[in-house]
Structure 1
Amino acid sequence: MGNTSSMLTQYDIEEVQQHCNNAFSQQEIVSLYERFCQLDRNGGGFVSGEEFLSVPEFAVNPLSQRLLTMLDGLNFKEFVAFLSAFSPRATVQQKIEFIVKVYDSDGNGKVTFNDMLDVLHDLTGQFISEHQREQVLTKVLEEAGYTKESLLVMSDFVKFLALYSHYFWKAYHA
């Protein structure tokens, strides 16, 4: 796949579409390819973390540093697969898998208390104290039937997320 949308063949489009589980239409894939080429300033076929940070909306995202570990060095096919979690056509399962990857700092498929605390810190900054974050997180884990030592896998994380969002909202607006 080259650096201009005219170099993206029908075969390439269909291959990428299949790779992202049809989360994007063919026209959306062409548009994503054009954006990918804009980001790939050196034309190497990969987008670096530095190139992603050139997007203002990405640079100001509180999770941008965490996301960079997932994004740095992606080729076009991987870029579209990454973005597929944000598609309205993505399944709930695909969205949850993405969220777990964001939380799972070491990529072992398990989310720890510290992983969750780190994300909560990234999202809240100085608006909530470290002590408050730990209290909220401990309480939510306990209510979901887990402890600070629990390692949450995908199915556990679904249960946890429902309570987590409720308590985080309450603590943040207290």
Structure 2
Amino acid sequence: MGSRSSHAARIPDVDSLRRETGFSQASLRRLYDRFQALDRTGKGYLSRLDLQQIGALAVNPLGDRIIDSFFPDGSLRLDFPGFVRVLAHFRPVDEEEEGNRDPKEPEPLNSRMNKLRFAFQLYDLDRDGKISRHEMLQALRLMVGVQVTEEQLESIADRTVQEADEDGDGAVSFLEFAKSLEKMNIEQKMSIRILK
């Protein structure tokens, strides 16, 4: 039976991760346990296959895109710090913590803008900084499946892009995306109580 302090010592760069992600040391310990449970073979990193074993991602229509977000730049391995950084986007916003933030510090990973950036990249498949009609259509196909006709999907994609596209270039930039969602409580919708 190991002590809590020796357990924390196994977590790579725990103090830096705490500052960067906002997770408490106890939360990081639980996330580390989850990381190790997903790493069934003990290789010290996670692969796409490891994440595909998570039931909630397996049934999520955007599951593959969410899994892709754990592997930026086409990497094949996900270390613990990378795992925690992605999960930090889904950490609920703490109003008190937000009010006491030093403006010189980087914006927290769970801030509204970072949550929006994360959501935007789920749609911007070619990473060109814009969501095209084609990319919107692909996302809609994943989300609604066969419940809607192709013609209806195309109409929804056209209308969605047209309503958000303020500069008339036929695509949605990040700023247009953020503006179109300004009335949505993204902090609530993109928060998961990962740990109590």
TM-score of the pair, normalised by structure 1? 0.79
Partner of 1:167: none
Could you tell me how far apart the structure 2 residues matched to 1:162 and 1:140 are? 15
The answer to whether the 8 A contact 2:120-2:174 is kept is yes
Is 1:100 paired with 2:101?
no
Q: Structure 2 vs 1, CA of residues 86 and 80 (structure 1 numbering), >3 Å: closer, same or farther? A: same
Q: Show CA shifts across 1:31-72 (max 9, x none).
A: 111100101122222111111111112211111122222235
AA at the equivalent of 1:98: F
Q: Show CA shifts across 1:58-99 (max 9, x none).
A: 211111122222235211111111111111022211110110
Q: How much has 1:25 moved relative to structure 2? A: 1.8
Could you tell me how far apart the structure 2 residues matched to 1:160 and 1:25 are? 33
Matches within 5 A, 1:43-58: 43-58=42-57
AA at the equivalent of 1:144: A
Matches within 5 A, 1:53-132: 53-72=52-71, 73-89=77-93, 90-132=110-152
- Structure 2 unaligned runs (5+)? 72-76, 94-109, 185-196
Root mean square deviation of aligned Cα: 2.7
Could you tell me how far apart the structure 2 residues matched to 1:35 and 1:161 are? 32
Aligned residues: percent identity?
30
Q: How much has 1:127 moved relative to structure 2? A: 1.2
The answer to whether the 8 A contact 1:112-1:149 is kept is no
Could you tell me how far apart the structure 2 residues matched to 1:143 and 1:153 are? 12
Q: How much has 1:155 moved relative to structure 2? A: 0.8
Looking at both structures, which has the greater relative contact order when contacts are Cα pairs under 8 Å and sequence separation is at least 6? Answer: 2
Partner of 1:168: none
Q: How much has 1:153 moved relative to structure 2? A: 2.3
Could you tell me how far apart the structure 2 residues matched to 1:112 and 1:6 are? 49
AA at the equivalent of 1:69: D
Partner of 2:175: 155
The answer to whether the 8 A contact 1:53-1:59 is kept is yes
Q: Show CA shifts across 1:112-142 (max 9, x none).
A: 2111111111111011122111112212332
The answer to whether the 8 A contact 2:137-2:154 is kept is yes
Q: Structure 2 vs 1, CA of residues 126 and 63 (structure 1 numbering), >3 Å: closer, same or farther? A: same
More helix by share: 1
Could you tell me how far apart the structure 2 residues matched to 1:64 and 1:44 are? 23
Partner of 1:172: none
The answer to whether the 8 A contact 2:120-2:177 is kept is yes
- Structure 1 unaligned runs (5+)? 165-174
